[in-house]
């Protein structure tokens, strides 16, 4: 279903509401319209039109999505509290709690103002998601608001229009997609694409128009063939051509490096049936008529997407010898495919709609709480993965964009259960998706029966088995491995709890605080840590000294501790705090003569240079295998070299950047697994 593009009039809205929701609903909508019109008064849009045109068209979109009285009224009133003297209390008095809460949810999204437009956008999006946890209809209203604003984007200054269009493509359109609101998503993408790539947009539009009559004639021939064959098996189905929207064509052209004329799925059909069983009957007919393309069949009926999208997808070689895309679904599936979350809150004739706020207003609204609504539960699960308030705004936005990525992969548990996860996610993301404890205690994994590192990226069809051990604990480098916001949030919560526990234990374990003399010595001889210079050889780790942050420390050259090592600190005159590994021979001697200080690692450190030595049989290709093994852990190699000795042995040395002891252990373990390697250990730099 494509949404109506023409502006709606108030009479059209009132009549449609009357027909669909009844006279009481019309009375509420008229009241909301007149209040909004009066309060906005002489305010104008950038187009010069009266401001009421905007909320009227937002309400029109919400009505077209068949939403309830409260949502349509909130669409009419969504800017009143923000832009006028009318308050929430006034709205509660005039329209009740439900409409007032919906308007407040939308209003709060726009309250953040920041010097940084990127930060402001991220905070507004975060607030939108928080508000949506209370009522998913908030995000539907916001998307309708965004859609009408995008339709009138041409009236904005070019620079601002470009920024808004980019934000829409990277966040709002994907959110609509994640919610299954395909009709909104498609329009937002094409409107934004028109601004971000105007020349490409015009080229694709002209190319599509040139082929329009040819494409329509082709689709009509297919309809005749299919209707005849389906009538033979008594299946009644609606057959229609499926238009490919401009942005989708552009993405396919760029990602697959193809010209417009090489995009064959411009000619696609959708077959809509009454029953699920008929979908598979239609599929059989389609595959009998035309040979299917191997690897292009997807059954989203048996395995729905996370937004509850269901459909059969197949690609066949059509009667002209070219690929033809076919989608097969029921009418109910088609409604959900077009409107997504809106379809789950939509008014149903004779049944009303179910509101997750539990408060009703007007006809067709039930006061039953949808506690068992699987869509709502899934939506809350998705939202909760975006809630980490400790994240920096930009970090939050990047995680959100990854989770909103359209592409997903389907993998299997050892029991054959299907798990849907974002494309690019790792084995470790999968572990946290199964259960938090599985992720926190993950020790290893098998993919398709073969042992793989936790950082391994998953592909559709993989069968994944996570190996756990109670004693196994997360490493800080896992924050670099996981890709999904949900896994990152669970890891950060774990490290925050661990930090709090460690702070408590450290305070309890120190019988007496460092003497005043020692503190004075620190203040006298130890400067605050200076800003790091780009390109310096020795990179600092974050180390807390006696509970004090930002103290300049020196990692002892004799043992060069790295994050994860147990460490101890010594006050040295004029050189600050010297940090050694606890088992360092030099440290054991100094403990008898020097003042020790409690020191500990503080979160993630800057990468630290470490040298390793690897010895192997001098066989062809072994050195390249070593390099590939190290690079496979996403580790930066600073220097590398190799020599041979008289015993036909290859001695390779690599200076690498390490963030944590666990990372070094993984590298050394992987190297030792290479068939011809006999030794792989860390050595002192320069040795």
Whether residue 252 contacts residue 189, with contact meaning beta carbons closer than 8 Å, is answered with no
Q: In whole angstroms, what is the distance from residue 484 CA to residue 488 CA? A: 6
Contacts of 123 (CB under 8 A, 6+ apart): 112, 114, 393
Count Cβ atoms below 10 Å from residue 307 Cβ, excluding itself.
20
Which bin fits 666, alpha (ψ -120 to 50), beta or left (φ > 0)?
A: alpha
User: Residue 360's closest CA among 24, 2, 12, 20?
Assistant: 24
Q: In whole angstroms, what is the distance from residue 289 CA to residue 370 CA? A: 44
Determine the angle formed by the axes of helices 88-95 and 23-40, rounding to 10 degrees.
150
Which bin fits 574, alpha (ψ -120 to 50), beta or left (φ > 0)?
A: left
User: Residue 193's closest CA among 173, 210, 175?
Assistant: 173
User: Residue 21's closest CA among 367, 355, 346?
Assistant: 346
User: Residue 426's closest CA among 492, 496, 488, 493?
Assistant: 488
Phi/psi of residue 236, nearest 5 degrees: -95, 120
Per DSSP, the residues of 107-168 read HHHT----SSHHHHHHHHHHHHHHHHHH-THHHHHHHHHHHHHHHTGGGS-HHHHHHHHHHI
> In 3-state terms, what secondary structure has residue 305?
coil
> In 3-state terms, what secondary structure has residue 217?
helix
Q: In whole angstroms, what is the distance from residue 495 CA to residue 307 CA? A: 31
> In 3-state terms, what secondary structure has residue 176?
helix
Let me know if 512 is exposed, middle or buried by CB neighbors in 10 A (0-12, 13-18, 19+): exposed
Burial track 77-87 (b if 16+ CB lie within 10 A, e otherwise): bbbbbeebebe
Angle at 281 between CA 270 and CA 295, to 5 degrees: 65
Whether residue 225 contacts residue 288, with contact meaning beta carbons closer than 8 Å, is answered with no
Residues belonging to the active site = 82-83
């Amino acid at each position: 279903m494509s949404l109506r593009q023409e502006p709606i009039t108030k009479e059209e809205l009132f009549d449609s509401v009357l027909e669909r929701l009844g006279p009481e609903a019309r009375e509420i909508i008229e009241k909301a319209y007149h209040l909004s019109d009066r309060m906005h008064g002489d305010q104008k849009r950038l187009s010069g039109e009266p401001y009421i045109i905007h909320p009227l068209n937002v309400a029109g979109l919400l009505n077209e999505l068949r939403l309830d009285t409260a949502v349509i009224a909130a669409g009419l009133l969504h800017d009143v509290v923000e832009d006028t003297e009318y308050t929430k209390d006034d709205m509660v008095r005039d329209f009740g709690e439900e409409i007032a809460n919906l308007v407040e949810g939308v209003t709060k999204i726009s309250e953040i103002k920041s010097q940084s437009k990127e930060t402001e956008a991220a905070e507004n999006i975060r607030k939108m998601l928080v508000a949506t946890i209370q009522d998913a209809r908030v995000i539907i209203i916001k998307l309708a608001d965004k859609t009408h604003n995008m339709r009138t984007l041409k009236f904005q200054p070019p620079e601002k229009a470009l920024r808004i269009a980019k934000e829409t493509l990277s966040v709002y359109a994907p959110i609509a997609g994640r919610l299954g609101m395909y009709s909104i998503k498609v329009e937002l993408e094409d409107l934004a694409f028109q601004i971000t790539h105007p020349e490409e947009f015009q080229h694709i539009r002209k190319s599509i128009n040139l082929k329009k009559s040819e494409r329509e004639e082709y689709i009509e021939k297919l309809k005749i063939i299919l209707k005849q064959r389906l009538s033979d098996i008594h299946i009644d189905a609606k057959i229609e051509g499926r238009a490919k929207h401009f942005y989708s064509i552009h993405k396919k052209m760029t990602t697959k490096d193809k010209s417009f004329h090489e995009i064959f799925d411009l000619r696609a059909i959708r077959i809509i049936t009454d029953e699920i069983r008929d979908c598979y009957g239609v599929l059989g007919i389609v595959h009998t008529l035309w040979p299917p393309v191997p690897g292009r069949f997807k059954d989203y009926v048996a395995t729905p997407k996370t937004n509850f999208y269901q459909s059969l997808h197949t690609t066949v070689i059509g009667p002209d010898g070219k690929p033809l895309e076919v989608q097969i679904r029921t009418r109910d599936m088609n409604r959900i495919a077009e409107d997504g979350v809106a379809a789950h809150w939509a008014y149903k004739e004779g049944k009303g709609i179910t509101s997750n706020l539990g408060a009703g207003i007007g006809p067709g609204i039930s006061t039953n709480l949808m506690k068992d609504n699987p869509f709502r539960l899934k939506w809350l699960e998705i939202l909760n993965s975006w809630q980490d308030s400790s994240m920096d705004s930009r970090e939050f936005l990047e995680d959100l964009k990854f989770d909103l990525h359209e592409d997903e992969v389907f993998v299997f548990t050892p029991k054959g259960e299907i798990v849907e996860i974002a494309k690019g996610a790792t084995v470790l993301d999968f572990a946290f998706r199964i259960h938090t404890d599985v992720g926190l205690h993950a020790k290893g994994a098998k993919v398709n029966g073969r042992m793989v590192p936790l950082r391994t990226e998953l592909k559709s069809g993989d069968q994944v088995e996570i190996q756990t051990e109670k004693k196994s604990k997360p490493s800080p480098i896992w924050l670099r491995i996981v890709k999904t916001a949900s896994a990152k949030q669970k890891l950060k919560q774990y490290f925050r709890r661990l930090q709090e526990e460690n702070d408590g234990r450290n305070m309890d374990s120190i019988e007496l605080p460092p003497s005043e003399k020692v503190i004075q010595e620190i203040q006298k001889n130890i400067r605050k840590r200076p800003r790091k210079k780009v390109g310096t050889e020795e990179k600092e780790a974050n180390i807390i000294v006696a509970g004090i942050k930002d103290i300049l420390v020196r990692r002892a050259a004799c043992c060069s501790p790295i994050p994860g090592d147990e460490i101890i600190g010594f006050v040295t005159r004029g050189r600050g705090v010297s940090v050694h590994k606890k088992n360092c021979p030099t440290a054991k001697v100094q403990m008898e003569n020097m003042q020790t200080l409690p020191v500990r690692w503080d979160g993630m450190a800057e990468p630290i240079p470490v040298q390793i030595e690897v010895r192997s049989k001098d066989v062809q290709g072994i050195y390249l295998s070593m390099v590939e093994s190290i690079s496979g852990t996403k580790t930066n190699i600073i220097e590398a070299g190799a020599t041979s000795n008289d015993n036909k042995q290859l001695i390779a040395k690599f200076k690498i950047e390490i963030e944590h002891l666990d990372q070094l252990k993984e590298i050394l373990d992987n190297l030792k697994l290479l068939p011809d390697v006999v030794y792989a250990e860390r050595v002192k730099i320069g040795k």
